[in-house]
Amino acid sequence: MHGVCNSIRHFFWQLLEENGTGHLVGSSLTMADIGLVEILFNIDDYMGIQTLDPYPALKVCKTRRQEVSPENVYKLAAVS
């Protein structure tokens, strides 16, 4: 299972790096970004929070998304 988690982290890290905006798609928060945080929380729960240390872009993404209010998430869901 650790190999799968490593592959998932690396995949999303590459997407963030390639986009260069700190978001998975485009330059603003989308449901994809919110979904990524859920994936990262699950990986943290399974493997421990330090597992994001080699992926600073993922750590920043996770921290930023934690600051998003539930109202903004609701608005994003309504637009999607």
| pLDDT tens per residue across span 28-62 | 888 888 888 888 888 877 777 677 788 888 888 77
Residue 57 sits in a domain whose CATH number is: 1.20.1050.10
Domain containing residue 61: 2-79
The dihedrals phi and psi of 30, each to the nearest 5 degrees, come to -130, 175
Q: Is the dihedral of CA 23, 24, 26, 28 positive or negative?
A: negative
The pair of structure tokens assigned to 36 is: 């990524």
Residue 18 has pLDDT above 90, yes or no: yes
| pLDDT tens per residue across span 3-12 | 777 888 889 8
* Highest-scoring range by mean pLDDT, 19-23, 42-46, 53-57, 69-73: 19-23
Number of folded domains that form the chain: 1
Q: What are the percentages of helix, strand and coil residues in the chain, rounded to 5?
A: 75, 0, 25
Run of H or E residues at 2: helix 2-19
